[in-house]
Structure 1
């Protein structure tokens, strides 16, 4: 039992608000299938923010320049799943524009078989070190 005025948690305990509280219990976003590499940027001029939670305002401010969802997650120190939901909410409201990353199929179209051989040779060289 803790004494009056004594903290009952330490810095290693992490945040006291669980991620599902930030998303109000939701585990799915507003219908956008966001990848961690999806780029998001604030719409200019930005409409009035509908949410009072500070995370939404921080995302809008941070995305003044294009950021990936993973970068937003890292800057806010939130789990990626939570960040995807919050970003999806802002996209649905028209606050953010987004661009999905190229699919892995288009990477294969860009990188010819010769490029894959070069990458394999580099990997083999690294393993020999």
Structure 2
């Protein structure tokens, strides 16, 4: 077996932990996949210190968008996107809205009707 193997051309690969400096939790905010994100302003030319991924998130979130949609569009793990969103939130470059839990619990008769409807 040769000591030097040919690796397929994978193109530039940036590990998600490099984008987040090894962090696995956001510095600010609590996000889930259906949290809605919206930029407070578009990226500006004088945003020299802004990572390319952060600028891209700002561009993608000009309109309300979910964390899951951002992760898919950026082709990044959702956890990485959440850490990056925490950075943007700390800089007040985004606002977020988390889903609210449903109010009240369905009554037993309603649940039984749903089960009967599904099994019938």
TM-score range, shorter chain: 0.7 to 0.9
**Contact kept in structure 2, 1:34 and 1:84, CA below 8 Å:** yes
Counterpart CA distance in 2 for 1:44 and 1:118 is: 48
Greater RCO between the two (CA within 8 Å, min separation 6)? 2
- Aligned counterpart, 2:86: 88
Question: Any gaps of 5 or more consecutive residues in structure 1?
Answer: none
- Aligned counterpart, 2:8: 9
**Contact kept in structure 1, 2:37 and 2:64, CA below 8 Å:** yes
How far does residue 73 in structure 1 lie from its aligned partner after superposition? 0.6
1:65-87: CA deviation from partner (whole Å, max 9, x where unpaired): 00011111111000010000001
TM-score scaled to structure 2, two decimals? 0.78
Q: What count of residue pairs does the alignment treat as equivalent?
A: 115
- Aligned counterpart, 1:43: 40
**Contact kept in structure 1, 2:36 and 2:98, CA below 8 Å:** yes
How far does residue 54 in structure 1 lie from its aligned partner after superposition? 1.1
Could you say which structure has the higher helix fraction? Answer: 1
TM-score scaled to structure 1, two decimals? 0.73
